[in-house]
Chain A
Amino acid sequence: MKMLIADEAPTDGKIVIGGWDITTIRNYDVPYLRRQIGVVFQDYKLLQKKSVYENVSFALESCGTQKSRIYKIVPQILKIVGLQSKADRYPYQLSGGEQQRTAIARSLVHQPKLLIADEPTGNLDSINSREIIDLLLRINNLNTTVILVSHDRDIINSLGKRVVTMDDGKIISDQVRGRYIL
């Protein structure tokens, strides 16, 4: 995961994303890579002092996006994740699932080609987990590649998608329509 967003350099091998070899990416190019990759974590990583709207708009503000564009994009994304009615709420006023949806909304602001979800349901109950997985499937249907990192057997088995299994840092299986095998 860290290597995919160029937070850590590989000791060996090559990393290519959408034809872009980022194995020896220059520091200068890292922000532009990250704008093309959305990342979602198990602990949401939301700013507690900012509202849902501000958490999402902060990602755009930090990249120098014009105000008019922020006004246009943020409501659209909040609508996709179903949080348009909770835009003014703060993270502590939201359920785990809603916080994760806020994090997903934030990861989508740059319309990334790739969305990496690292254990996005790790802190959620089964109902909220299902909502998040459904949302990720919807995003996938909108032509964004989603990499879901999960230890949840039921979720993996229910998806019927390509499954790459890693054990001790090595790929041990890669199936087009796979199942959880560990």
Chain B
Amino acid sequence: MMTSFLRVMKFALQGFWRNIWLSIINITILILTLFVINFLIGFNLLADNAVNLVNEKIDVNLYFKENISSEKIEEIKQKILASEYIENVEFVSSEDALNSFLSRHESDEHIVEAVNELKEGDGQVFLSSLKIKARNMDMYDDILIELKESQYSSLFEIDESEFKDYTNMTNRLSDISNKIKLFGYVVSIIFILIALMMVYNTIKIATYTHREEIGIMRLVGATNNFIKSPLIFEIILYNLIAVIAVVILFYGFLSVMNPLLIKLFEGYPLNLMEYFNSNFIWIFGGQFLIMSLFSVISSSIALKKFLKI
């Protein structure tokens, strides 16, 4: 068993070296295919995060009239929270709103002065509010209808301007990302098809170049598996080299892109490098396994056709 295995490896390596240019071309096509696939994985992650990032910023604010008590607002908050569309409701008191505003503008003396003047005048500069977040982007329309029709609607004013601005942005973002994804899928399908044809063609050429050896192997009673295995191992070797090369190339690409992306998504926990690191085995091991499995299947079909074995 071990003897046969070592011999199969020996024949596979011989086939690899004796047709080194063919091997290089095949590996190059595999590398291109795998690179596009990994690029798409990264891009999908980015696109989803970009949409989520904008989604997270969307909320609807209810500004309560000055004379509404905190207890009443709390009661309304509980009512709103009971709705199935709501993810979270945050109470922002007039003091909190003021403090947050001041801390944002502490360097601007004019603003601070103006606010202080207002404060001294009638006491309340900002209104108390409820910041409402939906479970899902699509639910904001329903939430707005519910709020407008609610019995408390006279107690607050709805500010939906942020929601509208961000909705336009997310729609555009998802539209662009969907188009790029579609383009990516088309490109990867083309590359996968090329890779499939290439594996099939490799086997065809390998059988042609090895036809004398194969003929003699059949004549002297080599089993079909022994004849097939070196060719299959040769292709698995292509896959292994291609995956290793893609890991090196893709990490090179990531090390250039990642700092730029981290800057772009500042404050948002997105790190492509970490994502690929923590899913390394799944992503690259999976690609190697799927390609190899496909190689075995297509090799068996090609050999059956060309060798009648």
A90 within 8 A of B: no
Return 22 A-B CB contacts under 8 Å, by A number.
A27-B309, A31-B221, A32-B221, A33-B221, A34-B218, A34-B219, A34-B220, A35-B220, A39-B219, A45-B212, A45-B219, A47-B216, A58-B220, A61-B7, A62-B222, A63-B221, A63-B223, A64-B7, A67-B3, A107-B220, A110-B220, A110-B221
B264 within 8 A of A: no
A-B pairs, 10 with minimum CB distance: A35-B221, A62-B222, A34-B221, A59-B220, A64-B4, A31-B221, A62-B217, A31-B223, A63-B221, A61-B7
List residues of chain A with CB within 8 A of the CB of B3: 64-67
- Bound-complex Cα distance A41 to B222 (A): 18
A136 within 8 A of B: no
Which residues 1-49 of B have a CB within 8 angstroms of A? Answer: 3-4, 7
Residues of B within 8 A of A (CB): 3-4, 7, 212-213, 215-224, 226-227, 309
Number of chain A interface residues as a range = 20 to 34
List residues of chain B with CB within 8 A of the CB of A33: 221
Given contacts A47-B212, A64-B7, contact A31 B219 (CB under 8 A): no
Contact with B along A45-77 (1 / 0, CB 8 A): 101000000000011011111110000000000
A5 within 8 A of B: yes
* B interface secondary structure, majority: helix
List residues of chain A with CB within 8 A of the CB of B217: 62
- Bound-complex Cα distance A66 to B216 (A): 19
- Bound-complex Cα distance A39 to B220 (A): 8
Which residues 118-147 of A have a CB within 8 angstroms of B? Answer: none
A106 within 8 A of B: yes
Task: Count contacts between A and B, CB distance < 8 Å.
Answer: 54
- Bound-complex Cα distance A131 to B157 (A): 113
User: Which single residue of chain B is at the shortest CB-CB distance from A46?
Assistant: B216
Given contacts A64-B4, A64-B7, contact A45 B220 (CB under 8 A): no
A114 within 8 A of B: no
Residues of A within 8 A of B (CB): 5, 27, 31-35, 39, 45, 47, 58-59, 61-67, 106-107, 109-110
Query: Does B224 contact A63, Cβ atoms closer than 8 Å?
Result: no
Query: Does A59 contact B216, Cβ atoms closer than 8 Å?
Result: yes
In angstroms, how far is the closest chain B Cβ from the Cβ of A130? 26
List residues of chain B with CB within 8 A of the CB of A32: 221
List residues of chain A with CB within 8 A of the CB of B221: 31-35, 62-63, 110
List residues of chain A with CB within 8 A of the CB of B219: 5, 34, 39, 45
List residues of chain B with CB within 8 A of the CB of A67: 3
User: Which single residue of chain B is at the shortest CB-CB distance from A48?
Assistant: B212
In angstroms, how far is the closest chain A Cβ from the Cβ of B38? 40
- Bound-complex Cα distance A42 to B217 (A): 18
In angstroms, how far is the closest chain A Cβ from the Cβ of B220? 4
